[in-house]
Amino acid sequence: MDGMAGSWTRDTPWRQGHVLTTDAIQALGLLHPESSDLTCVVIISHDCDLANDALQIEPDVEVIVGRHVSKGDGNYYWAKAPRTLHVDVLQNGIPAVVELVATAKRSIPKRALAEFTPDTTHVFPGKSLSALRSWLGVRYNRAAFPDPFVIRLSQSKVDKRLAKIIEPVGNLLSAIYFDVDGGNEINHSDGSPYDLKIVLAYPPGDDPEQTADDVEKIETAITTLFAEKHFDQATDKWSGIALKGCMSISEDDLPMSKARLLTQWRLEYMTLKADDDQVGAPD
């Protein structure tokens, strides 16, 4: 074994986002149940918890038993789905994609992990580590939308169509925000439509102009989708949901004060009632 002889100190080399070596994975029994040869185990404990050498207080390290996938799914990038994350990493300097599922969390005694050092062949770039941290908090901090609103999205199949629009290019978007009725609780039992505004936030990337053009195409596709499904040409009125606007904005231009007023839609169709029919791990 290659490491710290079972001694855990504040000088531990382990950090959030580090990956376990193959030897550590096998020794600790952390092989992926479906894709053992593609296993990628990622440390998700916070750095402060990792540095805590008072083992009676913080005895364990939390990890997720993930796996490498051949291609990322845009619906699972940037913490848009609370159960599954696809994240870009570098493996031996070559771009790769790792899939993490929230229910695959495991706890490892620090004394056991201290026998090993991190896998230096894997690197989480800064943006990927930020996405990981955001995703870890999503499961415990996500907004719910009114049942009738979600039902209307489902009945028109806009929810699934929207996911399909985003899937091939979803890695361009860091967040999708819904503003329903301006944040006010309005009774629509009379059949009146919900007013909806959509904001697509995106990181500008290395070529901000090209990225803006690509995201604008998503914006157009979403606008067309809602018009097809919720706008009645015969009566010139919206039915069920009225899309009042769909706009894209660079993260650099989205002030925190504005973001706080918006509710992030995470491709899970979560409502105010308990509902298990959410986006999870791909089949």
| Strand residues in the chain grouped as ranges (E) | 39-43, 60-69, 84-91, 94-101, 105-109, 122-123, 175-180, 194-202, 231-232, 237-238, 241-250, 263-264
Q: Which position has the token pair 């201290």?
A: 114
Whether 211 has a pLDDT exceeding 90, the answer reads no
Whether 7 has a pLDDT exceeding 90, the answer reads no
The rounded mean pLDDT for the chain is 86
For the chain, the residue count is 283
Whether 253 has a pLDDT exceeding 90, the answer reads no
pLDDT band at 142 (very low <50, low <70, confident <90, very high): low
Whether 269 has a pLDDT exceeding 80, the answer reads no
Rounded mean pLDDT, 203-209: 83
Strands 60-69, 84-91: pairing kind: unpaired
pLDDT band at 2 (very low <50, low <70, confident <90, very high): very low
Whether 172 has a pLDDT exceeding 50, the answer reads yes
Please tell me whether residue 239 adopts helix, strand or coil conformation.
Answer: coil
Contact 104, 65 (CB under 8 A): yes
Specify which residues 108 forms β-bridges with: 61
CA distances for 159 relative to 82, 143, 184, 268, angstroms:
16, 16, 22, 9
The domains located in the chain, with CATH, are 22-138 (2.30.30), 147-264 (3.30.300)
